[in-house]
Every structure is written in structure tokens, then in C-alpha cells.
Chain A
């Protein structure tokens, strides 16, 4: 079983749609959680951290459920520029290493 599992997609959605991604992780000792974004043939970049209480950054909302060990990302009012691969990322127990999911592909169409 992979440490971090994501639905690979692709999710094909029209502009303006709301789309949600989920991710599950296996290490209950994980302390920190993130969503990274990776554009085609580019390096990953941090999109947002995920906090236990849930957090929002503009059109993006992240949620963490420690009991069920899953993380979600909600994107509202999708833009063409949101098309990318979204990586769910979880830290190890001591925080120095990150474990990456394989990513979920989002394609936003006009």
C-alpha cells in the first residue's frame, strides 16, 4: 500500500465549476500536510499547507481529517490556469522528510 494515495484522474471540468480532490495517508504519526501544484514538465510548488481546523486561500479550501487520515482540496470557480497536477504531501514523524502522492490531474476546459 502506498503511503499517500490519490485518485490520478484526470478530472475534466468546465470553467467556473467546483472540484474536489481527496487523498489518504497511512502513517498516523504524520505531523504536517500540504498540497503542492505541478505544471506540465515543471517543478512542484507549494499551493497551501493543510491545518487541522481547515483553511482557505482565495478559491482554495483544504481540510484535514486525522481520525480518518484523509486530506481534501476544494477548488471553487475553476479557471483555465488551474489546470495542473495536484500533489498531496505528508510529512514524516519528525518533519524532515516529505512523502508525495502520485498526483491528481485537473483539466479545466472553456
Chain B
């Protein structure tokens, strides 16, 4: 039982390049989330998926797209990376039915030059 896994762990991009961050969970959770964490800012929600087949914008969605591929997988795509997207990205999941614990993946450290 791996919990929430993310790939890659580290990535360096040049401005304008694109990439997809992958996230998968094996806990049969319905809801999945993408956050970014910047110094002094806390975690900010980018997009979330309350259930398979649905996605919604969070606090900072601009410059990102997401795909809920199936119940297990939720990917985050940067179409044209910008230096302002340098951050640590965390994926999380939780079961449905109210605000209970979210389980986080180990994070992806992304640098955009």
C-alpha cells in the first residue's frame, strides 16, 4: 500500500516548456487535489477533483490544467512554464463525505529557469 505517489520528484524546465506531473493513489479515495507550496505562502489549492469525472478550479488555477484519468490518477499539466511556477507541488487525496484527513504525496520540486 504505497498511499499517494508522485512523479517526478525533481524537475528543471526552461521558460515555455511544458510538462505533466503525475499523481496516483491506491487508497480508493474519491477526492484528489493539487497544491503548490511557496515560502511564506502556505499550501495553495490549484485544482481539485471531488470524484472521478469532475474537476474544479482552486485558488490559483491560472497556467495549469488537470486530468482525472481514472479514480486512481490525477495529473497536473503546465502548458508553457513560467518562472513564477517554480514551487513545490503536492498531490493529496481523501475519501468523500466531509472534511477528514487528506493524505499527501512526497511532492515534486519544480524549477523554471
Contact = CB atoms under 8 A, between A and B. Distances in A.
A43 B58 contact: no
Contacts, number: 47
Given A44-B104, A46-B101, 9 more contacts: A31-B99, A34-B101, A42-B106, A42-B107, A43-B105, A44-B43, A96-B48, A96-B99, A97-B48
* Main SS class of interface, A: loop
Contacts of B44: 100
Interface in B95-109: 98-102, 104-107
Interface of A: 2, 4, 8, 31-32, 34, 42-46, 87, 91-92, 95-98, 100-103
Contact of A43 (B41, B50, B98, B104): B104
5 contacts: A92-B99, A96-B50, A100-B42, A102-B40, A103-B42
Nearest to A33: B99
B104 A95 contact: no
Contacts of B102: 46, 98
B37 to A, nearest CB: 8
Contacts of A4: 42
Contacts of B99: 31-32, 91-92, 95-96, 98
B25 interface: no
B75 interface: no
